[in-house]
Structure 1
Amino acid sequence: MNVRQRPLAQQLSIVILLTTVFVFAVLVTTLSILSNRAAIGQAETAIQERVNALAAAISDSLDNAKDTAKSGMDIAHKMLPGSITLSDEKAPAGDVAAVPVLKSGGVTLNNNLELLAKIRDLLHADPAVMVRLGDQFVRVTTFLKNPAGKSQVGVPLPATGPETRAVKDGKLYSGLVSRDGVYYVSHFEPIIIDNTTVGALSIRVNVDNILKRVKEGIQSFQVGETGYAFIVAPGKTLEDAVIVAHRDPKLVGKSVKELANPAITAFVKLMIEKRSGTLHYDWTSEDGKSGRKLAALAELKDSGWIVGAGTWVDEFTIEARKIRNITIGILVGAAALLVIVAAFYTNRHLAPLSTMAETLTAMGDGDLRRSIAQADPNSRDETAQLAVALRRMRDGLTQMIGQIGAATTDMTVAAEAMNSTAQSVMDGSEQQSQSAASLAAAVEEVSVSISHVSTNASDAERLVTESAVAAHLGNQRVGEVVREFTGIERDIRETATVVHQLGERTANITQVVQIIKEIADQTNLLALNAAIEAARAGESGRGFAVVADEVRKLAERTAASTTEISGTIVTVQQDSQEIVTRIGNLAQRITEGVGAARTAGDTLNDIERESQTAVTAVKEIANSTGEQSAATHDIAQGVENIARMAEANRQASEQNSEGAEHLHQLAETLNQAVVRFRI
């Protein structure tokens, strides 16, 4: 059964139950979240404090080892035979063929294990000597061996190691170093001669004892129920990171690459990124348990090691879960008690509603004679107020139904009268609509005719306007032609003047040519006389005779040339006169053409003026026909509106008739509905 179909008392009980469960669930959830947060926050603080204390203890131990190495360096200097010098000698060092030789008080330090053994026995720390070879510091005396037992003499310090960078810059260095998986605290001191670093001394203190104590402390370090501590030494890359200490011996001394465990790799990456503070992460143990873990981290600044400790988060929330479970039990009991009390009260208080429901059912069936119990009208109880309202409703319905019965009779009579009136109006509207339709058709024909006239007038106006524009443009073109012809006439006359002047100039040339011809004739006579005189002179005048003969020939050629030039000049003068005559004729014809063009321009001006007059007249005709078309269009619209109004009146009358018929039917239906009530 649907909840809405149940009794109201049960519905209220269900609502109270659901509301109580929801509120209590919110309270329990909030309490659980807050208590878990508080427990986790306290756990984070507690674990962080313990990890910080562990990191501080390890740092103190390493600092003590550094102090031991520094003091050992002072003692080593005192045990050397003298100050250190760089000789010119070269000596082999392991696989290196030749390296510089360092001496102390005349004693060679290269490969002098006997001297370094005395220092080692006294200090219980390993000394070493390095010589600089380029940018490298090569071990020349050392007790260090690789895992295979081979001496590291000839092997340089790591090129990118912090100790190498420090001594190269002439600085001291103390720190934790790893040599083939073994950790030492080393103190490096550069050997500087003439402001140049030529080598280095180192004291290496083995920190196995320190690491042993650290690992023992890690084994006994417990967080929560199953938590533990660990130490990771970051490398150049993530895969080079090494687990220095851990509860699981199988992991100690192994690099991330060697372990090849994706979960460990991901966790070490988080550690290196975080380095200090708290860390939450997902974890799956070897026994298959999965969940969230909490870890606290602290970084050892000098060594870069990261100390951490952590365990499962749910180990810190056990008490919070117990409190939550107890709270849930209490709230469930309280909710059950609240629902029982609410159900008892609502069943008792809402019992009169059943009686009222039966009364309303009877009233719905038409029985308005049921009695309703008296109730205090001044009561604020909703049940009593409902009883009073129900009694008033019954009395009002009784009175209203009596009035409706009387009104239905009057409504039937009025509907019949309205139906008759509507039929008369409908007939008149039909006739009016037909007359308006005929008038509208006639007006529409007149409007179409006027529209055609207006259109033709507009076309005529357009054509006349185009003619006027064409005449205006033609007039402008004729004016341009007149101006061009006038310019051509002026240029031709100027050309004729120039040609005439050319003829006059050729006459001057003729005079000059005549003078040259006369000079040539005189020269010819003189040459002839000279030839005669040369002949008289005999053998002595023979050379002069040759010259005279050449002068005579030149005079003859000059005379012939002047004759040709005179003929050419005469021809030029004749041609010039012919050109002047023709140019004069051409100028006369152009003058006549200019006159004709001006006459055409005057004619086009007359056409343009007449076209403007025609445009004005046609435009007035077009405007008048346009106004008539608009007026007839308005008349047509008015007649059409009358026709529509007549049609609307007819339809309204038809609807009124239908409404009157429907009203009559409603009156009959209402009368039948009222008859079923018993009052």
Structure 2
Amino acid sequence: MKFSTKVLALGTVISLVGLSVLTFIQYRTISQEVENTIESTIELASSQVAEVIHSELQGKRNLANYLSELLASADSQDVKGLIEQPSLRSVFVTAGIGYENDGSIIHNDSGWTAPSNWDSRSRPWYQDAKRNGSQSLTKPYVDEGTGAVLISISQPIYGNGGFIGASFFDVDLTSLATLISAVELEYATVFVVDGDGTVIAHPNSKLNGQNMSTFTNRSRIIENTELVTVQGKEYYLDFHPTKVGNWSVGILLPYEETHLPLEEMKKTVFILFLAILTLSFVIYVGAMKVLMRPLSALNEAMKNVASGDGDLTKRLDTNTDQEFKELAISFNGFVSIIQELIQGTKQTATQITEYSNVAANSAKDSEGLLHTQQQEVEQLATAMNEMSTTSSLVAQNAQSAAESAQTADTAAGEGSSIVLETTRAIQNLGDQLDDSMRAVKDLGNSIGDIESIVSVINEIADQTNLLALNAAIEAARAGESGRGFAVVADEVRTLAQRTQDSTTEIRSMIDKLQQGSQSVTKTMNTSHSLAMSTVEQAQTANHALEDIRSAISSITEMNIQIASAAEEQSLVAEEINNNTVSIKELSDKVADKASHTSEQVNKQSEHIEEQNKQLNQFIV
């Protein structure tokens, strides 16, 4: 991308961003002002309507209060005359009074007669007046006869020091719709609702008495202005409380119509935005062409310097703007330095060509001599390698023989040690057999002693049995008095019998132990004799192993000497072989270097020749 194009693009982007930010800020500011204007207009209109409603109803409430004071001091005939005055009928649809003593009513509605069971005291307007003790307004209701929406103003009547009844005055709210329709607020719908959302007055009389949710999608009064959607269309909805009961003035204002000027302004601003942006782009293009003329001239001059078969004698014109003048001076200085360098390089290249030719000839001679030396060294390396291999084999065989002899000596030593340990073990076994024989003999003596003790116990048991038998006989003679003694004597005889049985079993076991002891004694005598014989044979084997070890030691010493000599010879041969191989490798490397040097010298000569051709293109 050209530099001029980049500058043009940057300027366009800056203009675009600046205009966009400015347009956005302006649009946001105007939008906020429009919103504020709408809210203030709605607030002002609803306040005016609320004041009109209050003024309209307040006059009727004052009249109702005045008439109630007159009715308090009038008799029934006077009451009838007061409420049937034409001026009163023009203000109120119906007026009357209900009495506390019998619930009767006096009214001015000629088209309605109270039923016989009708009681004023059960009516809401009567109960509100009595309960509140002051003037009250009923909730709006639809008259069954006319279908009009009415409210009733009720007020308590006091006389003779107490409550005597309540007056009522029915007000037709149709006039309110006429009043609110006169409000000059374009596109707006003004209506009046009570606290629970019931419509009191609306330009569309069919909506009177219904809940406002039928045309606002809201069933309760809201505190602040908000947007609601009704049948797919957005509206501003706002409520303003009145001084009449819990009534509120509602305003429904369509969002789209109120923002028409803003939308028109947005279109106008967008068109102006595009026009200004286009004009800015045209101005940028013209300015860039004018500003870039010196740079274009400088670029053309540099092309002229670069052309002409490398003529370094050409210079740029410095008679131009300050910025481009400095650039031309710097370029002319750079060309002068290049001119001097090319001149020196051409002279140096001529000398290098001569030196390269001499070096190429010397490299060829060195390469031939090194090739001959390489062949001689290769033959020497082959011979030394064979001698080194033979020496290594001798050393390896001698070393293997020495290791085998050493292994045999180690095995003989281990065998001698095992024989000695076996001899000691057998001797220990003989000693243990002697101890065991003595222990078995002592065991036999102890068994004999036990047998004597058992004989004594058996004799005691016989004697006890005899005594128990005598005791039983004596007890039998004693009769009933000796029966307990007979039981004891029988138990003693039973114990004596059990003792005899036990001593018989013990004697049987002692006989078995004596037989086993005699058998063990014979076996131990035989084992002792065999152990002594084995000790003598082991000592003989130990002497033979000592003789074998002496012979192996002599063989090992001779093998070690042979292996050492062969190893030294192998090491010397290996070292000579390594040196020979190193010499051969060095010779190969030197030969390769010489060959490579020769090739490089030839290539260098070619490059120098090419360089001379290129340098000769410059005019210095």
Instruction: Determine if contact 2:27/2:266 at 8 Å carries over to the other structure.
Output: yes
- Tell me how far apart the structure 2 counterparts of residues 447 and 183 of structure 1 sit (CA, whole Å): 136
Partners of 1:77 and 1:589 lie apart in 2 by 150
Instruction: Indicate how the Cα distance of structure 1 residues 18 and 594 shifts in structure 2: closer, same or farther if over 3 A, else same.
Output: farther
1:48 aligns with 2:39: yes
How far does the alpha carbon of each residue in 1:43-80 deviate from its partner, in whole angstroms, 9 at most, with x for none?
11111112222343455567779988899899999989
Find 1:579's aligned residue among 509, 522, 528: 509
Distance 1:213 1:250, change over 3 A: same
Amino acid at match of 1:575: E
Q: Tell me: CA distance 1:562–1:50, structure 2 relative to 1, closer, same or farther (3 Å).
A: closer
Q: Against the structure 1 CA distance between its residues 74 and 387, is the aligned structure 2 distance closer, same or farther, given a 3 Å change threshold?
A: same
Residue 89 of structure 2 is matched in structure 1 by none
Once residues 403 and 585 of structure 1 are traced to their aligned partners in structure 2, the CA distance between those partners, rounded to angstroms, is 131
**For residue 45 of structure 1, what is the amino acid of its counterpart?**
N
Secondary structure (helix, strand or coil) at the match of 1:351 reads helix
Q: CA deviation at 1:39?
A: 0.9
2:301 match: 355
State the partner residue of 1:663. Answer: 604
SS of match in other structure, 2:307: helix
- Which residue in the other structure is 2:26 paired with? 35
What is the CA-CA distance between 1:575 and the residue it aligns to? 2.2
Greater share of strand residues, 1 or 2?
1
- Looking at structure 2, the residues matched to 677 and 209 of structure 1 have their Cα atoms a distance apart, in angstroms, of 109
| CA 523–294 in structure 1, closer or farther in 2 if over 3 Å, else same | closer
Residue 315 of structure 2 is matched in structure 1 by 372
Q: CA RMSD in A?
A: 7.3
Q: CA deviation at 1:406?
A: 1.8
Which of 514, 517, 521 aligns to 2:469? It is 517
Q: How does 1:304-343 map to 2 (within 5 A)?
A: 307-312=251-256, 313-316=259-262, 318=264, 322=268, 329=275, 333=279, 336-337=282-283, 339-343=285-289
- What CA distance in whole angstroms lies between the structure 2 residues aligned with 1:279 and 1:338? 46
Tell me, yes or no, if the aligned pair for 1:366 and 1:677 is still in contact at 8 Å: yes
Deviation digits for residues 579-634 of structure 1, max 9, x if unmatched? Answer: 234446668989999999xxx9xx9xxxxxxxxxxxxxxxxxxxxxxxx9xxx9xx
8 A Cα contact 2:194 2:200, kept in partner:
no
Change (3 A) 1:75 1:412: farther
Give the drift of 1:515.
Answer: 1.5
Q: Deviations over 1:454-508 (max 9, x none)?
A: 9x99xx99xx9xxx9xx9xxx9xx9xxx9xx9xxx99999999999877755544
TM-score normalised by the chain length of structure 2? 0.52
Q: Over residues 20-53 of structure 1, what are the superposed CA-to-partner deviations in whole Å (9 max), with x where a residue is unaligned?
A: 4333333322222121111111111111112222
Q: What amino acid is aligned across from residue 214 of structure 1 in structure 2? A: I
The structural deviation recorded for 1:249 is: 9.2
Aligned equivalents of 2:137 and 2:241: distance in 1? 14
- Aligned equivalents of 1:446 and 1:258: distance in 2? 121
- The whole-number CA distance in structure 2 between the counterparts of 1:358 and 1:667 is 29
In the superposition, relative to structure 1, how do residues 677 and 582 fare at CA in structure 2: closer, same or farther (>3 Å)?
Answer: same
Residue in 1 that maps onto 2:92? none
CA deviations over 1:337-382 (Å, ceiling 9, x no partner): 55435423533564354233123122xx3444x5435647996524
CA contact (8 A) 1:177 1:185 kept: yes
The answer on 1:672 being equivalent to 2:613 is: yes
Q: More displaced, 407-416 or 498-507?
A: 498-507
Kindly provide the amino acid, as one letter, of the partner of residue 357 in structure 1: K
Aligned equivalents of 1:584 and 1:202: distance in 2?
142
Which residue among 168, 176, 180 is the counterpart of 1:214?
180
Report deviation, 1:643: 11
| Contact 1:51 1:296 (C-alpha < 8 Å) held by counterparts | no
Q: Find the aligned partners of 2:329 and 2:494 in 1 and give their Cα distance.
A: 153
Tell me the distance in 1 between the aligned counterparts of 2:519 and 2:149.
126
The residue number in structure 1 matching 2:560 is none
What do the CA deviations read for 1:213-271 (whole angstroms, capped 9, x no partner)?
33443xx312xxxx5356697999xxxx9999889999998889978xxxx8xxx47x9
Please show how residues 584-599 of structure 1 align to structure 2 within 5 Å.
none
CA contact (8 A) 2:193 2:212 kept: no
Q: Which TM-score applies when normalising by structure 1?
A: 0.48
- Residues in 1 aligned to 2:108 and 2:518: alpha-carbon distance in whole angstroms: 139
CA distance in 1, matches of 2:303, 2:612: 27
Per-residue Cα deviation, 1:130-150 (whole angstroms, up to 9, x for no partner): 99xxxxxxx96479xxxxxxx
Displacement after TM superposition at 1:392 (Å): 1.8
Given candidates 352, 356, 363, the residue that maps to 1:412 is 356
Number of equivalenced pairs: 485
Pairwise CA distance, 1:674: 3.0
Aligned equivalents of 1:594, 1:188: Cα separation in 2? 141
| Superposed CA offset, 1:63-120 (max 9, x none) | 779988899899999989xxxxxxxxxxxxxxxxxxxxxx98553x5xxxx53x6499
Percentage of identical aligned residues? 11
SS in 2 for 1:221: coil
CA distance in 2, matches of 1:391, 1:666: 25
Structure 1 pair 274/564, CA: closer, same or farther in 2 (3 Å)?
closer
Query: Which amino acid in structure 2 is aligned with residue 573 of structure 1?
Result: T
After TM superposition, list the pairs within 5 Å mapping 1:143-542 onto structure 2.
Answer: 207-217=173-183, 220-222=184-186, 227-229=187-189, 268=217, 276-277=224-225, 279=227, 295=236, 297-298=238-239, 300=241, 302=246, 307-312=251-256, 313-316=259-262, 318=264, 322=268, 329=275, 333=279, 336-337=282-283, 339-347=285-293, 350-362=296-308, 365-368=309-312, 371-372=314-315, 375=318, 380=323, 381-385=325-329, 388-389=332-333, 391-392=335-336, 395-396=339-340, 398-403=342-347, 405-410=349-354, 412-413=356-357, 416=360, 417=362, 505=457, 507-521=459-473
Change (3 A) 1:184 1:277: same
Find the residue that maps to 2:188 and give its secondary structure.
strand
Contact 1:246/1:252, CA 8 A, preserved across alignment:
yes
Q: Report the CA distance between 1:409 and its aligned residue.
A: 0.6
2:75 aligns to what?
none
Q: Is the 8 A contact 2:177 2:203 kept in 1?
A: no
Residue of structure 2 equivalent to 1:613: none
Alignment of 1:109-148 (within 5 A): 115=105, 118=107, 141=123
Contact 2:239 2:251 in 1 (8 A): yes
Structure having the higher Rg: 2
Residues 375, 675 of structure 1: CA spacing in aligned structure 2 closer, same or farther, 3 A cutoff?
A: same
SS of structure 1 residue aligned to 2:292? helix
Cα separation, 2, equivalents of 1:214 and 1:433: 130
Q: 8 Å contact 1:51–1:298 — kept in the other structure? A: no
Structure 1: unaligned runs, 5 residues or longer: 5-10, 81-102, 122-128, 132-138, 144-162, 190-200, 286-292, 528-546, 604-627
- Unmatched runs of 5 consecutive residues or more in structure 2: 73-97, 111-117, 156-166, 536-566
Three-state SS of the structure 2 residue aligned to 1:309 is strand
Give the superposition deviation at 1:315: 1.2
Shift of the 212–670 alpha-carbon distance from structure 1 to 2, 3 Å rule, reads: same
